[in-house]
Chain A
Amino acid sequence: MTGLVALLTSILTITLRAGTSLIFGTVGEIYTERSGILNLGIEGMMLASAVTGFGVGYYSDSALLGLVVAACMGGLLAAVHAFLTVTMRANQVVSGLSITLFGTGLASFLGERLGPATNNHSLVGLIGPRFSPLVVPGLSQIPVLGALFRQDPLTYALYVLVPLAWYYLYRTRFGLNLRAVGESPLTADAMGVDVIRIRYLYTILGGMLVGVGGAHLSLAYAPGWTENLTGGRGWIVIALVIFAMWNPLRAVLGAILFGGINAVQFRLQAGGTTIASAYLNMLPYLITILVLVAMTWWEALSHRVGAPAALGVPYIREDK
């Protein structure tokens, strides 16, 4: 019995750790999409943030500074997306893809160039500062749920951020304006809401949260930098937004599902399973497809549409 409890505690601990970057990313993208902007650049933004976060952390020996710079990096790339899609009315899908391609290339370049000369200018394999888990005395001893209190500061921050993100979106005037812009920009504009400004604002804010998610990877979850550190997490985030039906609280469920897959993978591999690791590693991607199919099906059957009505549609204000 104690063995089982220990196992469950360990799985939940890893689940939360693995899910943290996903939750930051998903909440960020939910805010962006709620304003009507689809940003497919998450994967590239996460990578670029992860590498700059780690690089800055390494040289300044401050994980916190790394985190701040990573958030700015995410915000900066998101601002490029906002400029392309909002001001220049570029196709949102292609613009997002261009951000992902650019971010991936940039991350790879910085990872091979920012490092110290002693390491051949590479950041790979270096040890830098990190956000270590802080074990809360007492609470962490609760069976299974004690896992909630063995996390790093960024995961703890989510305990506040997620309910706050939900409250802001559904219970404040700002959140109402944001949802209005995503559902019907024309009406929002008529109500006196500045559609362009809202779209810029929440695209950049969402990008900063994605940047924090990227920093969690390189400064807490898997401290250090390796090429393709995200392994598709940025894309899973976009699927999780659909799974969460654009609701920050439900983002947690999805992130726990995918964090849980990581945790089970990890336990199986540590336990020396006979299943080929390639097949285990395919799981998150295959399950993403299954989740998408199930969600789309369910939405069609229940006649519920989660997506903001104006998602992906540029807003062109008629001249008066």
Chain B
Amino acid sequence: MPFKFRKRESVSRKAVLLVPLLSFAVSLLFGAIMLILSGADPVVTYLAMFGGAFGSTHGLSEVLVKSIPLILTGLSVAIAFRMRFWNIGAEGQLTMGAVAATGAALFWSQGWPSWTIMPLSIAAGCIAGGLWAGVPAILKATLNVDETLTTLMLNYVAVLYSEHLYYVTWRAPGRNSGTERIPQVAWLSRFLGRAHTGIFFGLALALVLWLIFRYTRWGFELKIIGSNATAARYMGINIARNIILTLLISGAISGLAGAVEVLGLTRSLQQGISVGYGYTAIIIAWMAQLDPLGVIFVAFLMAALLVGGDQIQMRMRLPASVGIVLQAMLLIPMLAGGLFRDYSLHWERPPKTDGVAGSMQADGMEAGGAED
């Protein structure tokens, strides 16, 4: 091969900034090809998506609404990914958080003073999410059971369980689906349309986690486990304990996302609680390079793509999944570009041999992947 990757002396700052920007451009370009092939005008579609997300107070409010669960689940995934624990169960943890928050607000807080209902409900959501992630964590820490599969399988279980609750067990009389509304004392207050104070949980947590990752021993341990588990073990870091502790926190944050969805937005457990935020969170965490403050920014961008997708569905009768495809398309060039952080690409002349024919022959052999 005439091209060779050579390890850089230090991480390229230019690549760290350029790669996400280029990924965004590639994503838009690919999306445009897809739109053209399916008979839609990409420029009109993108303008409609942008206008839908940022062109009105309503749009902006909806972007904030979707940012809230995305920031929280994004943080949840980022914590686990930092130690290379592949928690892809944020969706299920969010769903169980919503279930427990609803249960606490509607049924389990009877007889408690009314001001305790909101904190109880939020705590219940965190605990449920934490436990939902805790099971795979314990299985990983004790038996080394693959966590990608266990966390993912539990998503399906959680969603089926929540459906069973709002279609059957907890269904409010007179409704086709969905529980009763939770009592008003437990509601998170709203501003700017449907955006709600749940966003402050996300912003505060991001800041706290940023400080933890930067300045505490625990943050350092996560990083070491993530980059080199063997070295971590030699340094005396208790990996099993870290896995369980970290995942309880990771799950609790996703559970919190579910709880604030219920308390701030839907105010009952109903259809639409699980719409894939937990999967988008994976893209967010990786795009943000697992940095908590980066998560806020990327989550906002992803929320805008989702709202833009919803808008073109309403206005142009194009599938809202355009937004989802664009999101996933962001990650692919981002992954490809990750290499440029640590490596640079070089053009290397093949070694000279006798005459032009010999050099061409050598070229051909190299290109054909033959062994030298």
Q: Is B160's CB under 8 angstroms from A109's CB? A: no
In the complex the two chains form, what is the Cα distance from A282 to B145 in whole Å? 20
Q: Interface-forming stretch among B204-212, B245-253, B329-337?
A: B329-337
Contact with B along A29-56 (1 / 0, CB 8 A): 0000000000010000000000000000
Whether a CB of chain A sits under 8 angstroms from the CB of B50 is: no
Q: Is B319's CB under 8 angstroms from A292's CB? A: no
Whether a CB of chain A sits under 8 angstroms from the CB of B41 is: no
Q: How far is the CB of B290 from chain A (nearest CB, A)?
A: 11
User: Which residues 71-106 in A have Cβ within 8 Å of B in the complex?
Assistant: 80, 83-84, 88-91, 93-95, 97-98, 101-102, 104-106
Contact with A along B245-284 (1 / 0, CB 8 A): 0000000000000000000000000000000000110110
Q: How far is the CB of A198 from chain B (nearest CB, A)?
A: 11
Q: Is B319's CB under 8 angstroms from A235's CB? A: no
Q: Interface-forming stretch among B9-17, B98-106, B125-133, B320-328?
A: B320-328
Q: Interface-forming stretch among B114-122, B150-158, B176-184, B358-366?
A: B150-158
Q: Is B146's CB under 8 angstroms from A109's CB? A: no
Whether a CB of chain B sits under 8 angstroms from the CB of A61 is: no
Which chain B residues border A194 with CB–CB below 8 Å? 369, 371
Select one of B149, B283, B332 contacting A239, CB under 8 A: B149
Q: Is A95's CB under 8 angstroms from B335's CB? A: yes
Q: A192-B371, A194-B369, A235-B153 are in contact. Are A113 and B319 (CB under 8 A)?
A: yes
Whether a CB of chain A sits under 8 angstroms from the CB of B338 is: yes
Q: A84-B336, A90-B339, A286-B153 are in contact. Are A114 and B38 (CB under 8 A)?
A: yes
Could you say which of A94, A108, A276, A297 has the most chain B C-beta atoms within 10 Å of its C-beta? A94
In the complex the two chains form, what is the Cα distance from A239 to B339 in whole Å? 30
Q: Interface-forming stretch among B62-70, B161-169, B235-243?
A: B161-169
Select one of B4, B154, B371 contacting A289, CB under 8 A: B154
Q: How far is the CB of B280 from chain A (nearest CB, A)?
A: 8
Q: Is A292's CB under 8 angstroms from B161's CB? A: no
Closest to A94 in B: B286
Interface size class of B (residues with CB under 8 A): 35 or more
Whether a CB of chain B sits under 8 angstroms from the CB of A293 is: yes
Q: Is B335's CB under 8 angstroms from A88's CB? A: yes
Q: Is A292's CB under 8 angstroms from B150's CB? A: yes
Q: How far is the CB of B75 from chain A (nearest CB, A)?
A: 17
Whether a CB of chain A sits under 8 angstroms from the CB of B318 is: yes
Q: Is A296's CB under 8 angstroms from B146's CB? A: yes
User: Which residues 105-127 in A have Cβ within 8 Å of B in the complex?
Assistant: 105-106, 108-110, 112-114, 121
Which chain B residues border A121 with CB–CB below 8 Å? 317
Q: Is B335's CB under 8 angstroms from A282's CB? A: no
Whether a CB of chain A sits under 8 angstroms from the CB of B88 is: yes
A interface with B by C-beta (< 8 Å): 40, 80, 83-84, 88-91, 93-95, 97-98, 101-102, 104-106, 108-110, 112-114, 121, 192, 194, 196-197, 231-232, 235, 238-239, 242, 276, 278-279, 281-282, 285-286, 288-289, 292-293, 296-297, 300, 319-320
- 20 A/B residue pairs, CB under 8 Å, sorted by A: A93-B148, A101-B324, A105-B327, A105-B328, A106-B328, A108-B324, A109-B325, A110-B38, A232-B156, A238-B149, A239-B149, A239-B153, A276-B168, A278-B163, A278-B164, A286-B153, A289-B153, A292-B146, A293-B139, A293-B143
